[in-house]
Amino acid sequence: MNLLDAKVINTVYGLEIYLDLAENIEIKELHVPTIDSPFYDVQFGIGYFLLREGRYHSSQRNYFHICMNHDFSLITLKETETESLFAIKNEAERAATKKLLGEWFIQTKGYQASLNKCITKVKREDVCTTEDIQYKTDTIKFLEKLLELTTEDIEQAHVEKPVRLQAVSIF
């Protein structure tokens, strides 16, 4: 690994240091369109180090989603409800995080390796029904499309905050 394989974001909480290592990238969830949820969706976890005040550091892992519509023409980034990569950041830090995803993350060997590993796993799965075959085909097509993402795709994507349901008192 060389210095060019790392990215740093300065936040009010400290320096977030991202390294291009396969173990830092996790695909946590993967969904293909259904009647109830008509979007492709993958949840990534990204590991990084948080360096606080130049002397204390901790290992962190936060998450976000990349979502696409059925024909891959619309890309949306979504925050997770907890452990969001975008959480507790001001607007400038959120913009830097989005830039990190577009200019660095989707270009990393770790990102590509995690997707290729997932593609291999899906290809090895046994299928019995036509629904299983369609699910497998759709999943592979989505994962391969994720490998083709460009910086512009991510920069143009809208970032959605999670929908939080508020409790309503009926008393």
Instruction: Specify if 170 maps to a domain.
Output: no
Domain range for 92? 3-160
**How does DSSP assign 106-143, residue by residue?**
GGSHHHHHHHHHHHHHHHHS---SHHHHHHHHHHHHHH
Please report where in the chains the tokens 């995803």 appear, as a residue.
Answer: 101
Cα separation, 16 vs 116, in Å, equals 26
Token reading at 76:
């949306």
Instruction: Specify if 169 maps to a domain.
Output: no
Q: How confident is the model at residue 169 (pLDDT cuts 50, 70, 90)?
A: low
Q: Give the phi and the psi of residue 114 in degrees, each rounded to 5.
A: -65, -40
β-pairing, 158-160 with 75-79? parallel
Instruction: Specify if 117 maps to a domain.
Output: yes
Task: Name the percent of the chain lying above pLDDT 70.
Answer: 92
Give the mean model confidence (pLDDT) for residues 31-50.
93
Token reading at 147:
């490998």
Q: pTM for this one?
A: 0.88
Most confident of 118-127, 130-139, 141-150: 141-150
pLDDT on residue 55: 75
Please tell me the total count of domains within the chain: 1
